[in-house]
């Protein structure tokens, strides 16, 4: 259904008084009472249980695999290995097919005897109970011809190369703007610094999980823990060689994703094949250790940033190099350079990516992929520049403020960063900051204040929604979006209620099913903007139809009015000029003997309906609208830390985040998003690190006992505010999305606060007590 | 995890009898160590003997000190008024351990028998001399940030990870054991845990047919004035990078008796006897504390990633003593 003329303006987005309210989560009750069904909780008739047996070694060949003992265990129904996996129409092993599938990893386990990484599935055991499957999986005997693995890009054995493109072809391996080398050489101030990042894992509360049921010989339903049912459907139908309509993917609830559920990983298709093999539904849920080797991670990486500036502190050149570990097949690297290129006004920029192949699985998007580590580099270096020149860190950022997008000279669709800085500084008490580093004591502790800028692009996307409005006053609103647990159910209910002029409890909102209209992946912070816009547009479609009905209905007060003179307000159609004249939709529909009416709408990027789209700058990874706007959200984090100068422990004691991210759909869930993202970033800054054994290339702390994420005691009260921002260009609802900007700059804000507290700069994440203690000893 | 049978025992005699019948059977108290290791296929037991009904309970003041039943829960002991007032280092060590949920389940006996957090030990895909004698010790040149610097051997450098045992070993605690014949023996906690040497798989002197009945702690001035400090990667719910248990008896600024032990650095709960000697008879000054702390880590053999512990342990010990003096 085409919505082009939807400029037909019946009511403005978010004018119903419901959007923006701190509505409690509509799915809260279902979740706390256990009624919300996650993908591994469907009790289907004849359900069986799949358990993966994964490889102990990181590199080698399977010489033999003996399933005979395991197969004799009671309840065992099938054991899939590379010798008997039911054949697939396509596998990602072939680069062309990989593209068609949209798989993140160019290798599917159980398709060959090669072992490429520790934790690679080598068998899948299906049994009638979970415990029997677990036990049988442990009885599968695998003999390997073991080879010495390559551990990381730092391993002398690693093949390090300059990729033409990284991130699955989305980002060029080399970008240049102006004359960076010359500009840097000529700069009176030159800073060169190298930043190190540990491997990070997403670790959503809910691990990856699949329940697959074949409804017929060529028709399958998959309950999947995914951030996007449509993308999963596409991947599965390509691999199975089935038309998309014959593959249904359902995700009603998701226990977090953070990017690792943004694409289709091997365990999903293997479960689907297992269900085919046993002819019964199969449920497979990754264990926590398996989670560390099944759905990607944030790669280990080094970044070197050269920053040239004038003596006054104006940037003259930025040269960024990143080297990171990738898998034997894929050229994945987070696009760190994007934010470094964009954040400040700088005439010359260059970025280069290098990759080292190692025996690891492919890394993948992890909350704010590229922006998070990229901002760590640029925001620490900006802080260094400020310190070197004796300028306040906030001032140095204002001095280099980018009034236009420096990558392409385009105006911003909106940018409230100056207001964010000002409000944040006020809330935080930035003016009280001691200009001297290492000079603020509180008892035995050193105190420090740091800040960093955040930014995240509004990515190109679109999606569709459908509304059925009933004459009794309620509505069914549907779209195939997913709710990561962040509040999509709630905010979309609000948007529907707001644009239909009915109470939120009159809205039944459904998502997470490929049978519903297509919505984008919930990733790249696109869901809120795109899905809300599609619902708003669908409501406009409904109003348009109702207006047509009203002006042709002799009994309507609006009979013979011009459609353009009619506006919808709080569920009523009224005359713009005389709002007492009109009627509510229920009266209209009942009179017309119309039990319900349907509308559908498309939410587009770049307010798409406006001027269409044009390619953006080469390395921006997104497209700008033809109106010539660059679309990003901006914000700032302020952080206070308390450092123990003896043993080096760092505690965050105060936190202020202020963001300008377009329209905020729900004050409460938005605040929670920013808090969650900031805590995610504090984990990245202070403790998250997966350790890969330097000889065996296997993780040594693949559990939540040993892989530390923040606990409540690590987190202070957090202050979060938003700047009121109206952006008419980004999409119909003017929503930019906040899932990822919340974590951008966080690690730098913490590191800068540590620098302020101690006078020592730590460029290696995470900033653990030993690093701080050692830095203070010299 | 393997299949196993589960049998509750009503008496020590019954529990030990069952243990004798089934080699490789295990006693289960809170299960917070045991079940984790079974799920990870690090331990496999054909039978679990539930000892929670055994009468190893009570937190009592005795003629010469404190007696804690082996089946008392960590939370109950940590929040016990007698323990908090007369043996603060024990209460503090307990309440800085694990999480409230775990402390509500975990028993004192089980706590003393918890096993190392060495990542190689806990993942059967790795070689590990402790789990699979003779297979090697990848931690020596691998992920050893959390491992020990004292009492290590070429075979194993695993840390004893517990907090309670550090506090108890500082206060000369004694473990009361009982065997199948109903015979009891009392072993100083100092001698209860073993150094890895060439047999890291053997961690304590506990015999297969023995149960821990209780732990006793002598009353003393240095127990009343005692303190525990734990340094970790996050503010709560993490094992110690290093920890220090200290107790002092000070009169007129002079140290009459001292008790020092370190956690997170030793292959067993690490009592610093030499360092204690350096405190006794001296003035309770920072200078003295530093000298003692240096003695406490003498002979440390750090590896690549745990070098920092040598310094951190000393600083933590000094901090604990200073805080104790200031309290
Ligand atoms: C995530 C996590 C974090 C933790 N953090 C900490 C921490 O910070 N500090 C800390 O000190 N500890 C910590 N622990 C360890 C915890 O304290 C121990 O798991 C617990 O104390 C063990 O007690 P239990 O009763 O559960 O033992 P169980 O698991 O029941 O038993 C452990 C072992 O002891 C044997 N056993 C138990 N009781 C007896 C007895 N009376 N006689 C003979 N044998 C017996 C069992 O057979 C078994 O081999 C942590 C544990 C976890 C899982
Ligand atoms: S340190 Fe001990 S427990 Fe760890 S791998 Fe070596 S032998 Fe095993």
SS3 A383: helix
The fold adopted by the segment(s) A402-460+622-778 is Aldehyde Oxidoreductase; domain 4 (3.30.365)
pLDDT at position A618, please?
A: 37
Chain A hits for B262, Cβ within 8 Å: none
* CB nearest to A700's CB, from B120, B232, B311: B120
All structural domains of chain A with their residue ranges: 402-460+622-778, 461-605
pLDDT at position B78, please?
A: 98
- b/e map A57-95, b = 16+ CB within 10 Å: bbbbebeebebeebeebeebbbbbbbeebeebebbbbee
Residues 89-118 of B with CB under 8 A from A: 117
pLDDT at position A615, please?
A: 39
Ranges in chain A, pLDDT < 70: 1-11, 606-627, 778
What burial class does residue A2 get, using C-beta atoms within 10 Å of its C-beta: 0-12 exposed, 13-18 middle, 19+ buried?
exposed
CB contact under 8 A, A289 and B123: yes
Instruction: Count the Cβ atoms, other than its own, within 10 Å of residue A317.
Output: 24
- A402-460+622-778 and A461-605, same CATH topology: yes
CB contact under 8 A, A289 and B41: no
In this complex, how many residue pairs, one in chain A and one in chain B, have their CB atoms less than 8 Å apart? 98
pLDDT at position A721, please?
A: 98
The alpha carbon of A721 and the centre of ligand 2 are apart by a number of angstroms equal to: 49
Q: What is the DSSP code string of A494-510?
A: HHHHHHHTS-GGGEEEE
* CB nearest to A687's CB, from B138, B231, B234: B234
Place of tokens 């990515």: A459
CB of A209 within 8 Å of any CB in chain B?
no
CB of A73 within 8 Å of any CB in chain B?
no
Q: Is the pLDDT of residue B319 over 60?
A: yes
Is A640 designated active site? no
Whether pTM > 0.90 for this model: the answer is: yes
Residues 378-437 of A with CB under 8 A from B: none
Residue range A499-555, pLDDT digits in tens:
999 999 999 999 999 999 999 888 888 899 999 999 999 999 999 999 999 999 999
Q: Is the pLDDT of residue B138 over 80?
A: yes
**Residues paired with residue B8 on neighbouring β-strands, in sequence order:** B50
pLDDT at position A11, please?
A: 64
* CB nearest to B126's CB, from A135, A648, A698: A698
B3: pLDDT confidence band, cut at 50, 70 and 90? Answer: confident
CB of B286 within 8 Å of any CB in chain A?
no
Q: Which DSSP category does A313 fall into? A: S
Residue range B67-92, pLDDT digits in tens:
999 999 999 999 999 999 999 999 99
CB of B17 within 8 Å of any CB in chain A?
no
CB contact under 8 A, B138 and A696: yes
CB contact under 8 A, A706 and B235: no
Residue from A244, A273, A234 nearest A97 by CA = A234
Which ligand has the shortest distance to the CA of B152?
A: 2
Give the ligand 2 atom nearest the CA of B127: 5
Residue from A507, A430, A429 nearest A474 by CA = A507
Q: How far apart are CA A647 and CA A758, in angstroms?
A: 13
pLDDT at position A607, please?
A: 54
Q: Which domains does chain B have, with CATH numbers?
A: 1-53 (3.30.43.10), 221-326 (3.30.390.50)
CB contact under 8 A, A687 and B233: yes
B2: pLDDT confidence band, cut at 50, 70 and 90? Answer: confident
CB contact under 8 A, A693 and B237: no
Which ligand has the shortest distance to the CA of B77?
A: 1
Between the alpha carbon of residue A717 and those of residues A654, A675, B261, the distances in Å are: 7, 10, 36
Residue range A673-727, pLDDT digits in tens:
999 999 999 999 999 999 999 999 999 999 999 999 999 999 999 999 999 999 9
- Rounded to a whole number of angstroms, the distance from the CA of A694 to the nearest CA of chain B is 6
Give the ligand 1 atom nearest the CA of B28: 30
* CB nearest to B308's CB, from A118, A134, A770: A770
The fold adopted by the segment(s) A461-605 is Aldehyde Oxidoreductase; domain 4 (3.30.365)
Catalytic residue among A299, A640, A689, A740: A740
Residue range B223-245, pLDDT digits in tens:
999 999 999 999 999 999 999 99
Report helix, strand and coil shares of chain A as percent, to nearest 5.
Answer: 30, 25, 45
Give the ligand 1 atom nearest the CA of B98: 5
Residue range A291-321, pLDDT digits in tens:
999 999 999 999 999 999 999 999 999 999 9
The alpha carbon of B95 and the centre of ligand 1 are apart by a number of angstroms equal to: 14
CB of B236 within 8 Å of any CB in chain A?
yes
- Residue nearest ligand 2's atom 2 by CA: B156
Give the phi and the psi of residue B66 in degrees, each rounded to 5.
-120, 140
Cβ atoms of B120 and B126 within 8 Å: the answer is yes
- Rounded to a whole number of angstroms, the distance from the CA of B58 to the nearest CA of chain A is 30
The alpha carbon of B136 and the centre of ligand 2 are apart by a number of angstroms equal to: 8
Strands B65-69 and B210-218: antiparallel
Mutate which of B6, B12, B32 for ligand 1 pocket (most atoms within 8 A of beta carbon): B32
pLDDT at position A523, please?
A: 86
Q: Could you tell me if the ipTM is greater than 0.95?
A: yes
SS3 A123: strand
Residue from A511, A555, A554, A549 nearest A530 by CA = A511
């Amino acid at each position: 259904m085409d919505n082009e003329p939807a400029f037909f303006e019946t009511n403005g987005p978010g004018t119903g008084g419901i959007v923006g309210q701190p509505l409690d989560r509509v799915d809260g009750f279902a979740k706390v009472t256990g009624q919300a069904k996650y993908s591994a909780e469907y009790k289907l008739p004849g359900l069986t249980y799949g358990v993966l047996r994964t490889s102990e070694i990181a590199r080698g060949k399977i010489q033999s695999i003996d399933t005979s003992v395991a197969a004799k265990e009671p309840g065992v129904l099938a054991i899939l290995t590379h010798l008997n996996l039911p054949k697939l129409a396509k596998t990602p092993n072939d680069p062309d097919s990989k593209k068609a599938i949209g798989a993140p990893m160019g290798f599917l386990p159980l398709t060959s005897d090669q072992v490429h990484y520790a934790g690679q599935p080598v068998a899948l055991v299906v049994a009638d109970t979970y415990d029997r499957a677990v036990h049988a999986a442990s009885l599968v005997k695998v003999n390997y011809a073991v080879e010495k693995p390559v551990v990381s890009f730092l391993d002398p054995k690693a093949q390090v190369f300059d990729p033409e493109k990284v991130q699955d072809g989305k980002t060029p391996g080399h970008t240049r703007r102006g004359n960076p080398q010359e500009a840097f050489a000529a700069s009176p101030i030159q800073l060169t610094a190298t930043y190190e990042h540990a491997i990070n894992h997403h670790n959503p509360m809910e691990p990856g999980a699949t329940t697959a049921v074949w409804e017929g010989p060529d028709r399958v339903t998959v309950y999947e823990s995914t951030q996007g049912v449509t993308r999963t459907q596409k991947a599965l139908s390509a691999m199975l060689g089935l038309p998309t309509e014959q593959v249904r993917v359902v995700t009603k609830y998701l226990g977090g994703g953070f990017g690792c559920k943004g694409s289709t990983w091997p365990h999903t298709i293997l479960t689907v094949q297992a269900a085919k093999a046993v002819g019964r539904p199969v449920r497979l849920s990754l264990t926590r250790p398996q989670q560390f080797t099944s759905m990607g991670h944030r790669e280990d990486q080094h970044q070197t940033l050269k920053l040239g500036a004038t003596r006054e502190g104006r940037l003259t050149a930025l040269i960024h190099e990143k080297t990171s570990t990738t898998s034997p097949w894929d050229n994945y690297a987070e696009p760190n350079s994007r934010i470094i290129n964009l954040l400040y006004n700088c005439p010359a920029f260059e970025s280069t990516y290098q990759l080292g192949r190692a025996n690891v699985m492919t890394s993948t998007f992890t909350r704010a992929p590229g922006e998070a580590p990229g901002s760590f580099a640029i925001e620490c270096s900006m802080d260094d520049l400020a310190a070197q020149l004796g300028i306040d860190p906030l001032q140095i950022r204002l001095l280099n403020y980018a009034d236009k997008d420096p990558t392409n000279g385009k105006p911003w669709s909106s940018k409230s960063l100056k207001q964010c800085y000002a409000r944040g500084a006020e809330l935080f008490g930035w003016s009280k900051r001691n200009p001297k580093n290492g000079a603020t004591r509180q008892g035995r502790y050193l105190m420090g204040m740091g800040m960093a800028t955040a930014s995240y692009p509004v990515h190109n996307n679109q999606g569709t929604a459908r509304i059925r409005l009933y004459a009794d006053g309620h509505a069914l609103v549907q779209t195939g979006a997913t709710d990561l647990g962040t509040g999509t159910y709630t905010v979309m209910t609000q948007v529907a209620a707001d644009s239909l002029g009915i109470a939120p409890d009159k809205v039944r909102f459904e998502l997470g099913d490929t049978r519903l209209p297509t919505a984008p992946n919930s990733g790249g912070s696109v869901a809120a903007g795109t899905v809300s816009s599609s619902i708003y547009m669908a409501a406009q479609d409904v109003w348009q139809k109702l207006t047509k009905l009203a002006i042709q209905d002799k009994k309507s007060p609006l009979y013979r009015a011009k459609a353009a003179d009619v506006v919808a307000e709080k569920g009523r159609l009224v005359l713009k000029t005389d709002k007492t004249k009109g009627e509510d939709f229920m009266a209209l529909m009942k009179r017309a003997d119309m039990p319900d009416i349907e509308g559908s709408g498309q939410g587009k990027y770049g307010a798409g309906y406006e001027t269409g789209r044009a390619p953006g700058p080469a390395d921006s990874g997104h497209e700008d609208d033809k109106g010539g706007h660059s679309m990003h959200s901006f914000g700032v984090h302020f952080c206070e830390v308390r450092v123990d100068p003896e043993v080096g422990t760092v505690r965050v004691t105060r936190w202020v985040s202020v963001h300008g991210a377009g329209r905020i759909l729900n004050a409460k869930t938005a605040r929670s998003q920013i808090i969650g993202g900031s805590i995610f970033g504090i984990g990245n800054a202070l403790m998250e690190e997966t350790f890969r054994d330097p000889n065996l290339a296997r993780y040594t702390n693949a559990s939540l006992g040993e892989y530390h994420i923040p606990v409540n005691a690590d987190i202070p009260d957090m202050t979060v505010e938003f700047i009121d921002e109206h952006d008419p260009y980004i999409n119909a609802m003017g929503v930019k999305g906040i899932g990822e900007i919340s974590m951008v700059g966080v690690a730098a804000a913490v590191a800068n606060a540590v620098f302020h507290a101690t006078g020592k700069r730590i460029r290696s994440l995470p900033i653990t007590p030993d690093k701080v203690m050692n830095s203070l000893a010299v | 995890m393997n299949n196993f049978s589960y049998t509750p025992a009503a008496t020590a005699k019954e529990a030990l009898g069952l243990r004798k019948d089934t080699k490789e059977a295990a006693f289960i108290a809170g299960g917070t160590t045991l079940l984790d290791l079974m799920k990870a296929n690090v331990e496999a037991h054909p039978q679990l003997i539930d000892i929670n009904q055994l009468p190893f309970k009570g937190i009592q003041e005795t003629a010469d000190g404190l007696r804690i039943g082996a089946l008392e829960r960590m939370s109950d002991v940590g929040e016990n008024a007698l323990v908090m007032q007369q043996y603060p280092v024990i209460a503090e060590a307990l309440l800085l351990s694990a999480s409230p949920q775990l402390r509500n389940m975990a028993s004192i006996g089980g706590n003393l028998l918890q096993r190392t957090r060495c990542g190689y030990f806990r993942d059967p895909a790795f070689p590990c001399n402790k789990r699979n004698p003779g297979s090697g010790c990848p931690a020596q040149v691998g992920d050893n940030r959390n491992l020990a610097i004292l009492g290590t051997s070429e075979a194993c450098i695993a840390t004893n990870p517990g907090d309670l045992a550090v506090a108890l070993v500082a206060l000369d605690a004694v473990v009361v054991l009982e065997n199948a014949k109903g015979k009891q023996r009392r072993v100083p906690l100092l001698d209860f845990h073993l150094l890895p040497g060439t047999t890291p798989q053997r961690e304590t002197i506990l015999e297969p047919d023995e149960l821990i009945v209780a732990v006793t702690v002598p009353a003393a001035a240095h127990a009343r004035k005692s303190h525990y400090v734990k340094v970790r990667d996050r503010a709560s719910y993490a094992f110690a990078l290093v920890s220090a248990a200290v107790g002092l008896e000070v009169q007129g600024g002079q140290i009459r008796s001292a008790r020092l032990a370190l956690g997170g650095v030793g292959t067993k709960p690490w009592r610093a006897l030499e360092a204690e000697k350096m405190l006794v008879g001296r003035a309770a000054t920072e200078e003295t504390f530093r000298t003692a702390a240096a003695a406490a880590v003498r002979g440390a053999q750090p590896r690549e990633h745990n070098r920092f512990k040598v310094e951190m342990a000393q600083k933590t010990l000094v901090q604990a003593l200073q805080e104790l003096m200031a309290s």
